[in-house]
Structures are given as C-alpha cells and as structure tokens.
Amino acid sequence: MKYYDQHLHTYFSYDADETFESYLENFDGFVVTTEHFDLANPVTHQDDAPDYQAYQKKISELNQQYQNRILKGIEIGYIASEKERIKDYLKDKNYDLKLLSIHHNGQFDYLDDFVADMDYRVILDEYLKAMNEAIDEIPANVLAHFDYGIRLFDLTVEQLQEFEPQLIQIFKNAIKHQLAFEVNAKSTHLYHNLALYDYALDLYLSLGGKLITLGSDGHKIEHFRLHFDELLALIKSKGINELATYQNGQLQLVKI
Ligand SMILES: [Zn+2]
Ligand SMILES: [Zn+2]
C-alpha cells in the first residue's frame, strides 16, 4: 500500500467545495476525507457537522465506481463547552480516521485576522490547555495541526520553546492515548511553520512517540498532497520509515 494523504476536505465541510472525484482522479491509492465537525462555530455562528447519512451514501456509491478506494473520516473540532454534544454525535457513527483539532475558543477562530494582533503567549497558553483537555476527552487517531492556534503569529522555534513544558505534557498525553502526530502541509508550507514542525516532531519522538501521519489539509485540489516529497524526506531524515494510517479505526503502518 502506498501512503495516502490523511487530511482532506470536500463540500461536506462548511469551508470547502471540492469533490471526492477530484482527489480520486489525481491519485490511484486510497482517499480519505476528514470533514469538519465544529460545534458552536464562531465563524458561521452555528453548529457545523457533516451530514453523516449523505456522506455515507455518497462514499458507498463512489466505492463501487472507484474500487473501494474511499475511506470515511472526520476532523473533530474540540471545544470544552460542547464536549457532551461532541461525544453524543460521534457515538453511533463509524469512521476509518478521526482527527482531533482545536479551531476556536467559542468566541473566535484562531485564524480570524485580529488574532494576529493579540498576545501570542495568552493565546498559546489557552490553546494548549484546550488541546490537552481534548486529548483526555475525545477518543481519536491523530492530533492534527498542533500549531493551529499560532498559525498567524510567525513564531520562532525559540518563542515556541517557552512553552516546551506544556508541549511535553501534551505529547506525553498524546502518546498515552495512542494519538499520532500529524505533519500538516498547510502549516509547514502555507503558514511557514516548517521549523516549528521540525522542532515539535523531534520533541514527540524524543518522548517515545512513534506514530506519525502526513496530511495536506487540502480544501481544494491544488493543495492535495502539498509538498509531500519534501515532507516525506524530512520525516525520513529523522529515521522514520513508516507512517501511520487508519482504516476502520485500526492502525496500519505503511512504508515510506
Ligand atoms: Zn483543522
Ligand atoms: Zn482540516
């Protein structure tokens, strides 16, 4: 099996219009989409949840047409105030892959423009607390874009290192819950956080972490498998020869 992109969105996500067919026709291996599930979303002032029935139906139709190459996924946006409703939504649904993310704090999304003018220490502190709590509360496979809350700050590694004790706590917790660390291509190449990933990946590995995934976070075909060659080379340079994939929630390691 060939490694496949494990962070993708289609029109089942509130902020994307891309079709499954676009991804399927540009790659001959598996395609998994990880659709946004963001309750109490301050961006849209509503609950954003993929229509599970319609998603299942579409995927089973496409699987007949595309040799069972499509897998079901979800990107769970954690927010403490909604944690019971999040668990309730997930309890009767099956996914191949579950990503765990923190996108907003109930008042604003961390990608809202004005966040760039806020104090990164205040934001990062609250964001990391939410991430640690999310790991404890929500069973998932992958800790997605660990840097989402600071994408707008252009932080240096030195600035991020001020939070190393919290990062160590989070990565230890992720390892305990068998959550993979995601290398997110949108973060590394569109938000220029490659150095932060280089540092964080080393930290995760130094703590005994072994599960790594690579995802483009593509919302359109132009970002599908974004800079994968370069990112795979970076991952391999750290002595990692297998990436984690998930089918029906079960870990399957794939050689890279
Ligand atoms: Zn996300
Ligand atoms: Zn995403």
Average predicted confidence (pLDDT) for the chain: 98
Evaluate whether 60 touches 20 at the Cβ level (below 8 Å). no
What is residue 7's predicted lDDT score, i.e. its pLDDT? 98
Closest ligand to C-alpha of residue 215 is: 2
Ligand 2 center to 8 CA (angstroms): 6
Ligand 2 center to 190 CA (angstroms): 13
Confidence of residue 243 (pLDDT cuts 50, 70, 90): very high
Cβ-proximal residues to 247 (8 Å cutoff; 6+ apart), any chain? 71, 96, 97
Ligand 1 center to 103 CA (angstroms): 6
Ligand 1 center to 201 CA (angstroms): 18
Ligand 1 center to 205 CA (angstroms): 22
What is residue 233's predicted lDDT score, i.e. its pLDDT? 98
Cα three-residue angle 236-242-246, rounded to 5 degrees: 135
Phi, psi values for residue 250, rounded to 5°: -95, 135
The pLDDT of 194-220, averaged and rounded, is 98
Ligand 1 center to 101 CA (angstroms): 6
Ligand 2 center to 118 CA (angstroms): 23
Cβ-proximal residues to 14 (8 Å cutoff; 6+ apart), any chain? 36, 38, 41, 43, 44, 48
Confidence of residue 74 (pLDDT cuts 50, 70, 90): very high
Ligand 2 center to 220 CA (angstroms): 11
What is residue 214's predicted lDDT score, i.e. its pLDDT? 98
Ligand 1 center to 44 CA (angstroms): 15
Stated as kind and residue range, the H or E segment containing 130 is: helix 120-137
Evaluate whether 225 touches 5 at the Cβ level (below 8 Å). yes
Confidence of residue 121 (pLDDT cuts 50, 70, 90): very high
Cα–Cα distance measured from residue 180 to residue 243, given in angstroms and rounded to the nearest whole number: 9
Cα three-residue angle 90-94-10, rounded to 5 degrees: 85
Ligand 2 center to 19 CA (angstroms): 15
Q: Full-prediction pTM beyond 0.95? A: yes
Task: Indicate the residue type of 113.
Answer: D
Among residues 239, 224, 238, the alpha carbon closest in space to that of 6 is found at 224
β pairing state of 31-41 and 180-184: unpaired
Confidence of residue 151 (pLDDT cuts 50, 70, 90): very high
Ligand 2 center to 142 CA (angstroms): 12
What is residue 124's predicted lDDT score, i.e. its pLDDT? 98
Closest ligand to C-alpha of residue 216 is: 2
What is residue 56's predicted lDDT score, i.e. its pLDDT? 98
What is residue 146's predicted lDDT score, i.e. its pLDDT? 98
Ligand 1 center to 38 CA (angstroms): 10
What is residue 138's predicted lDDT score, i.e. its pLDDT? 98
Q: Domains of the chain by range and CATH?
A: 20-255 (3.20.20.140)
Ligand 2 center to 172 CA (angstroms): 23
Phi, psi values for residue 172, rounded to 5°: -65, -40
Cα–Cα distance measured from residue 215 to residue 32, given in angstroms and rounded to the nearest whole number: 10
Cα–Cα distance measured from residue 200 to residue 217, given in angstroms and rounded to the nearest whole number: 18
Closest ligand to C-alpha of residue 16 is: 2
Ligand 2 center to 124 CA (angstroms): 19
Enter the tokens of residue 17: 């219009």
End-to-end CA distance of the chain: 10
Closest ligand to C-alpha of residue 101 is: 1
Confidence of residue 169 (pLDDT cuts 50, 70, 90): very high
Ligand 2 center to 34 CA (angstroms): 7
Closest ligand to C-alpha of residue 104 is: 1
What is residue 26's predicted lDDT score, i.e. its pLDDT? 97
Tell me how long the chain is.
256
